[in-house]
Chains A and B, each alone.
Chain A
């Protein structure tokens, strides 16, 4: 295939990619396929989790480019016609500024501006439908017919200032009119004499202020007729970056999930804990499971099982990372050997299994004994004593028991302690090896791509016979990413300094327990949030929203977020910064970490 990237890992944000690039590099996870259903969903994912890529891939012009049989079937059978509407910060910051001076008219103003955004998105989808469903040779005529009829619907009997012949022109005209109406509004605030809009803008403004999505519904009916979509065709509207909207905006949009909107289903895309209300503009609030379902994609980054079952070893264990790596390489036109990543990064002494043999048992137990707490020392002594006195068959059983009960649990902590302590004149090496590197990305696509980009500035190491990347070099990359990730906590809206202090204290507490105290078979890297920890719940929720913590789900089927209590682990991306193991470990009560129950900054 021809290359659509110059470097496979240079760009880590779907926002910057065109439809062909997004589709070529997209790794469809279970959450994605769940969205392609006749249900309303609220899709949640932390920053960098690929929410925008997933939402964009729902849209028709992206879906039809996906190299997947199920996707091709959906497009061919016209089952779903997806529209992707971004509500980016740039748009919302302007919206909020204008809302300050709307005085009682905020709702109508929001609806009007929202209708403008959706109309533009919908025109892109109609263009895609022409390309997909209309024969070559008839497309231009059909496009002009649609433009003509849309103009009649949206700006009846008012000619546009410049002739409009194409959907692209119409999209541009709508964006221009939206902008001009905004300027007219500003002028009217400052002027004593009245300010009037151009006739075309005024006509569009009037149509787009009629009701939430009314202009889009009208356009959809026209598209249904033009493309002969039947009752089995459903339209999907995915609204991205809803975390920037306010609770009041969510209340208005929630009504779409509550009332009957024939032929349309909605996908709200937002950060965890950032679907701010279940209230609607009707008398009834939303009911989860009835009006909509939550999809928490950080919890469901699971690939199609048919694909996974074909993989073996690390590729199977880290199937998402493997698929992302392979697709990106292919999109860059690089013929990557399947074991390239494993070869370049090697193994991790910290995380990879260690088999206990009769030859190594004494050395291993001596090593573990030096780090063990009293209880574990006793356990080691007992196992060793039993081993010494057992017959040969018993010895084999005991070796297996020792591997399962002691080495598997304790070895990562022991090796990490030893490697961290060895750092002085030498460079660090603990955070290296394939399994360690991948674990420290939390399988967050953006962090994965950044990690690959920093590890492989020179792709020769992957495609040729280049030497593996040294452990210190890998360690340096992972520590750099960890430090940057930790530093970015301060930039979280509203709570940045407090959250940084909160995460910092928790991380240092775990680090102290791991490195300064004798250890057992349990490691501690999670906190238990209880209903009474009200002073911390807001910080924990923000940490989850931004990917600094992850909730643990005991019930694997559950995809909504724990509200008031549950177990939360630190992001593994922070492990190299705090010198922790990228393992969930056992939870610690917040009372233990914060005996004073308050933060230094509050």
Chain B
């Protein structure tokens, strides 16, 4: 049986620290933001801690700092997983929870995590036979991009595994672009995808200029849209999930629905949750390297969202 996503709900920090988690998953990335959640929260009870890490550039300053922090805070070494492989985290979870249980509660800090990893966690929660009910509390710390977003070359557009959606050549397609500070990728994907209908959503606030900066950077693609960009709250995954869901809803069953979330991770997660609920919706991500990872600094805000698969 496939579990259904039955609840998406923002929760308070107080709820998070009072809960007992079977497992908490962190990512030791290349940005100082990776430490924000773990540093600020004092959890009441965590059964197991998994720290994930990218397998390359291990000696970059922030990466070394992050690894040292997690070793000190949780006494864990990062498990190195490829950011682009298909099921990097679910294999670890299936090993750790081989015996089926009634209920599992997982904490996942997505602040510095590859979207491939938390998409994999969502698939595992939906399909794996580890428990009847799987509850995941996601955490996200806002970040500050200092200076201009570095130039990147887009290499490949690919659906996240499990989020391929329908690609029926006989019907029209509608694409929703989640815009951020990268002005190169959206027009590149738009040119390749050539959807019949084009819409976008952007984050309404942030620690570094937020909506005005995003709209200015993305002027070229905004001119191509079939409607004004929709403003989503940066720090409410529940509200973003509801709004993206409402944007997609009129098209599901009539058109191929494609979400290309290129903005903040809270919106990426919201998009994945929409696609988790409606399997016809595709969620794409764009491969392409930055020459150097960006050190996104820790912002002022944190948000938490609890989702339930049962």
Q: What is the interface of chain A, defined by CB distance below 8 A to chain B?
A: 13, 15-16, 47, 85-86, 88-91, 93-94, 96-98, 100-101, 117, 120-121, 124, 171-172, 175, 179, 182-183, 186-187, 189-193, 244, 484, 487-488, 490-498, 601
B277 → A minimal CB distance (Å): 14
The reply to whether the CB of B57 lies closer than 8 angstroms to some CB of chain A is no
20 chain-A/chain-B pairs, Cβ below 8 angstroms = A13-B194, A85-B169, A90-B173, A93-B157, A93-B167, A94-B165, A96-B158, A179-B166, A187-B2, A187-B127, A189-B161, A192-B128, A488-B220, A490-B151, A491-B187, A493-B188, A493-B192, A494-B288, A497-B151, A498-B153
* Complex CA distance for A91 and B284, rounded to whole angstroms: 11
A-B contact count (CB 8 A): 135
Contacts of A493 in B (CB 8 A): 153-156, 188, 192
Question: Cβ of A186 and Cβ of B162 under 8 Å apart?
Answer: yes
Q: What is the interface of chain B, defined by CB distance below 8 A to chain A?
A: 2, 85-87, 90, 94, 123-124, 126-129, 151-170, 173, 184-185, 187-188, 191-196, 220, 256, 258, 279-280, 282, 284, 288
Question: Cβ of B188 and Cβ of A101 under 8 Å apart?
Answer: no
Contacts of B280 in A (CB 8 A): 179
Question: Cβ of A90 and Cβ of B196 under 8 Å apart?
Answer: no
Q: What residue of chain B has the Cβ atom nearest to residue A500's Cβ?
A: B151
Contacts of A488 in B (CB 8 A): 187, 191, 220
A547 → B minimal CB distance (Å): 11
Question: Cβ of B85 and Cβ of A90 under 8 Å apart?
Answer: no
Question: Cβ of A484 and Cβ of B86 under 8 Å apart?
Answer: no
Q: What residue of chain A has the Cβ atom nearest to residue B289's Cβ?
A: A494
* Complex CA distance for A484 and B220, rounded to whole angstroms: 8
Question: Cβ of A96 and Cβ of B159 under 8 Å apart?
Answer: yes
Contacts of A85 in B (CB 8 A): 169
Q: What residue of chain B has the Cβ atom nearest to residue A124's Cβ?
A: B170
Question: Cβ of A496 and Cβ of B158 under 8 Å apart?
Answer: no
Q: Which 9 A-B pairs have the closest CB atoms?
A: A94-B164, A491-B188, A190-B127, A91-B167, A100-B86, A97-B159, A90-B167, A94-B159, A497-B151
Contacts of B282 in A (CB 8 A): 90, 93-94
Question: Cβ of A183 and Cβ of B87 under 8 Å apart?
Answer: no
Question: Cβ of B86 and Cβ of A191 under 8 Å apart?
Answer: no
Q: What residue of chain B has the Cβ atom nearest to residue A190's Cβ?
A: B127
Q: Name the one of A13, A94, A124, A192 contacting B167, with C-beta atoms under 8 angstroms.
A: A94
Q: What residue of chain B has the Cβ atom nearest to residue A87's Cβ?
A: B169
A13-B194, A497-B152 known; A487 and B158 CB under 8 Å? no
Contacts of A191 in B (CB 8 A): 127-129
Contacts of B193 in A (CB 8 A): 88-90
Question: Cβ of A492 and Cβ of B188 under 8 Å apart?
Answer: yes
Contacts of A121 in B (CB 8 A): 169
Contacts of B156 in A (CB 8 A): 96, 493
Q: What residue of chain B has the Cβ atom nearest to residue A98's Cβ?
A: B164
Known: A93-B284, A100-B86. 7 other contacts (CB 8 A): A89-B192, A90-B167, A93-B158, A94-B164, A101-B161, A182-B164, A190-B126
A545 → B minimal CB distance (Å): 12
* Complex CA distance for A563 and B196, rounded to whole angstroms: 35
A88-B169, A91-B169, A494-B154 known; A487 and B220 CB under 8 Å? yes
Question: Cβ of A189 and Cβ of B169 under 8 Å apart?
Answer: no
Question: Cβ of A192 and Cβ of B188 under 8 Å apart?
Answer: no
Contacts of B153 in A (CB 8 A): 493-498
* Complex CA distance for A85 and B94, rounded to whole angstroms: 40
Contacts of A97 in B (CB 8 A): 86, 158-161, 163-164
Contacts of B169 in A (CB 8 A): 85-86, 88, 91, 117, 120-121
* Complex CA distance for A117 and B169, rounded to whole angstroms: 8
Question: Cβ of A496 and Cβ of B188 under 8 Å apart?
Answer: yes
* Complex CA distance for A175 and B170, rounded to whole angstroms: 9
Contacts of B185 in A (CB 8 A): 491
* Complex CA distance for A515 and B263, rounded to whole angstroms: 42
A365 → B minimal CB distance (Å): 46
Contacts of B129 in A (CB 8 A): 191-193
Contacts of B165 in A (CB 8 A): 90, 94
Q: What residue of chain A has the Cβ atom nearest to residue B173's Cβ?
A: A90
A88-B167, A97-B159, A493-B156 known; A190 and B128 CB under 8 Å? yes
B114 → A minimal CB distance (Å): 14
* Complex CA distance for A47 and B192, rounded to whole angstroms: 9
Question: Cβ of A90 and Cβ of B258 under 8 Å apart?
Answer: yes
Q: What residue of chain A has the Cβ atom nearest to residue B194's Cβ?
A: A15
Contacts of B187 in A (CB 8 A): 488, 491
B75 → A minimal CB distance (Å): 30
* Complex CA distance for A15 and B194, rounded to whole angstroms: 8
Max chain B CB contacts within 10 Å: which of A124, A182, A186, A484? Answer: A186
Q: What residue of chain B has the Cβ atom nearest to residue A168's Cβ?
A: B170
Question: Cβ of A90 and Cβ of B279 under 8 Å apart?
Answer: no
B119 → A minimal CB distance (Å): 10
B111 → A minimal CB distance (Å): 25
Question: Cβ of B161 and Cβ of A186 under 8 Å apart?
Answer: yes
Question: Cβ of B85 and Cβ of A100 under 8 Å apart?
Answer: yes
A183 → B minimal CB distance (Å): 6
* Complex CA distance for A181 and B93, rounded to whole angstroms: 25
Contacts of A490 in B (CB 8 A): 151, 184
B279 → A minimal CB distance (Å): 6
A90-B193, A100-B85 known; A186 and B184 CB under 8 Å? no
Contacts of A96 in B (CB 8 A): 156, 158-159
Contacts of B220 in A (CB 8 A): 484, 487-488
* Complex CA distance for A94 and B157, rounded to whole angstroms: 9
Contacts of B94 in A (CB 8 A): 192
Question: Cβ of A244 and Cβ of B192 under 8 Å apart?
Answer: yes
Q: What residue of chain B has the Cβ atom nearest to residue A16's Cβ?
A: B196
Q: What residue of chain B has the Cβ atom nearest to residue A113's Cβ?
A: B167
Question: Cβ of A183 and Cβ of B279 under 8 Å apart?
Answer: yes
Contacts of A498 in B (CB 8 A): 153
Q: What residue of chain B has the Cβ atom nearest to residue A187's Cβ?
A: B127
Contacts of B192 in A (CB 8 A): 89, 244, 493
* Complex CA distance for A47 and B188, rounded to whole angstroms: 12
Question: Cβ of A494 and Cβ of B2 under 8 Å apart?
Answer: no
